[in-house]
Structures are given as structure tokens and as C-alpha cells.
Amino acid sequence: MPIKAMMSSIFILLAILFLVSLFVFKGSMNALISKKMKDQAGETVQKNMAMYVDSAYNFKNNMAGYQITFLEFGATGCSSCRMMEKVMEEVRSKYPSEIREGSIQAYRFFFI
């Protein structure tokens, strides 16, 4: 077998192995990245985010008449978040006066 063909086979095998390992370890990688982002955000940013959520969505304190609140913490690059947006649009149109929906772009609080 020529060396060029063997090198191509090895490269393809390594690429497949890399993709499989990404899939297998995606949960632990996601947890690690989330922890790193939270550590980078710092205590002040985390407190600011908590205060924003409380002021905007704590209806007992701000006297809004909604019965249910849905909060979605997501990102524009997240495919699951984009799919959920369609569901939340349907909920908003079906129950406009009983339900308040809020979408918080989580990445924006980490890079302030």
C-alpha cells in the first residue's frame, strides 16, 4: 500500500475518532465550558443578572397581572433555543394575558 494512501486512511480514521469522542464527551465538555464561563463572569455580573431577572419577572413585587412566566436562557447560536422560540411564539399567541414569556440571551451577561 503506498504511503500516500495509508496517510489518507490514517487521517480519515483520526477525524472519525475525533468526532466520535466529541459526541461521547459532549456532556462533560459542556459542563466544563459552562463552569469556565461562570468563573469568568465574576460575582458582580452574576448578581446583576439575578437582579435583572428579579426586577423583570418577579410579578409579586412589580404588580404585573400574569399567572405564569416562562424564562428561556439561551443563545442565538443554539439550535435548540431557536426551535423553542417557535413553541414560545405559539404559547404567547394562545395565552396573551395570562402568560409572560421572556428570553434571556445568556451569553450577553458573561461578556459585559
Tens of pLDDT, residue by residue over 8-45, are 999 999 999 999 999 999 889 888 888 888 788 778 88
Tens of pLDDT, residue by residue over 60-87, are 776 666 677 777 777 777 788 788 888 8
Q: Architecture of domain 3-110 in CATH?
A: 3-Layer(aba) Sandwich (3.40)
Spatial CA neighbour of 87 closest among 76, 103, 75, 107:
103
- The reply to whether the predicted model has a pTM over 0.85 is no
Q: How far apart are CA 66 and CA 5, in angstroms?
A: 66
